[in-house]
């Protein structure tokens, strides 16, 4: 899709708005079980094979997730079993090994 000069600023404004809503780890947020398939440190992302995420209505799958802080990736490696929490933008706000 080609973005017009009108939709571009709107899209940027929308993304900024979503960022403003992102907040600290919610103690009530769903803990999701997963397995690290890859660590994409240069992209600030991690590839996770995850179980059902009820709150997002997402079935089990393998996908890339962005982490809130790239430092969260430093102790993770392929094969690690983890638990993680997502914020409303589907960014990992908390992840740790089980
Ligand atoms: Cu997924």
Q: Report the separation in Å between the CA atom of 36 and the middle of ligand 1, taken as the mean of its atom positions.
A: 13
Q: Is the separation of the CB atoms in 65 and 87 below 8 Å?
A: no
Q: Alpha-carbon distance 61 to 87, whole Å?
A: 18
Q: Report the separation in Å between the CA atom of 96 and the middle of ligand 1, taken as the mean of its atom positions.
A: 17
pLDDT tens-digit series, residues 73-95: 999 999 999 999 999 899 999 99
What's the alpha-carbon Rg for the chain, to the nearest Å?
Answer: 15
What confidence score (pLDDT) does residue 8 get?
Answer: 58
Provide the 8-state DSSP code for 93. E
Q: Alpha-carbon distance 39 to 45, whole Å?
A: 7
Q: Report the separation in Å between the CA atom of 52 and the middle of ligand 1, taken as the mean of its atom positions.
A: 8
pLDDT at 22 over 60: no
What confidence score (pLDDT) does residue 44 get?
Answer: 98
Q: Report the separation in Å between the CA atom of 12 and the middle of ligand 1, taken as the mean of its atom positions.
A: 24
Q: Which two tokens stand for residue 87?
A: 């914020």
Provide the 8-state DSSP code for 81. E
What CATH homologous superfamily does 30-97 map to? Copper binding periplasmic protein CusF (2.40.50.320)
């Amino acid at each position: 899709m080609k973005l017009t000069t009108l939709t571009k600023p709107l899209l940027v404004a929308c993304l900024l708005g979503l960022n403003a809503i992102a907040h600290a780890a919610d103690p009530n947020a769903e803990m999701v079980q997963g397995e690290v398939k890859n660590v994409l440190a240069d992209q600030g992302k991690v590839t996770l094979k995850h179980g059902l995420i009820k709150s997002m209505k997402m079935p089990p799958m393998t996908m890339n997730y962005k982490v809130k802080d790239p430092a969260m990736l430093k102790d993770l490696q392929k094969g690690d079993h983890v638990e993680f929490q997502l914020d409303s933008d589907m960014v990992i706000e908390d992840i740790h090994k089980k």
